[in-house]
């Protein structure tokens, strides 16, 4: 489901804008446990407004076994 959603938002600008304007502010808790697809979803939805608030602690990442990438938290400010 996540992969299809990310593909849709990445390939259909009309659909991405529809949902990006629906949510002008995005909050993501436990950000250290996001995987690359979840990170891309946040980036696609937050691209226009750049109002994304994340909470996480790189020392508490526990879901590496299911694809979570603690590096997402380190790259957030740059992106």
- What confidence tens digit (pLDDT) does each residue in 22-66 have? 988 999 998 888 999 999 999 999 999 989 999 988 778 777 777
Please give the Cα distance from 62 to 55 (Å, whole number). Answer: 15
Q: Would you state the pLDDT for residue 75?
A: 80
The CA-to-CA distance between both ends of the chain, in Å, stands at 24
Q: Which two tokens stand for residue 26?
A: 């995005």
pTM here is 0.84
Which residues are CB-neighbours of 11 under 8 A, at least 6 positions away? none
Provide the pLDDT for residue 68: 76
Q: Is 74 helix (H, G, I), strand (E, B) or coil?
A: helix
């Amino acid at each position: 489901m996540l992969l299809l959603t990310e593909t849709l938002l990445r390939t259909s600008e009309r659909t991405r804008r529809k949902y990006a304007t629906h949510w002008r502010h995005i909050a993501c808790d436990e950000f250290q446990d996001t995987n690359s697809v979840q990170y891309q979803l946040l980036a696609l939805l937050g691209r226009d407004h750049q109002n994304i608030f994340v909470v996480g602690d790189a020392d508490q990442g526990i879901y590496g076994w299911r694809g979570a990438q603690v590096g997402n938290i380190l790259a957030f400010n740059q992106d």
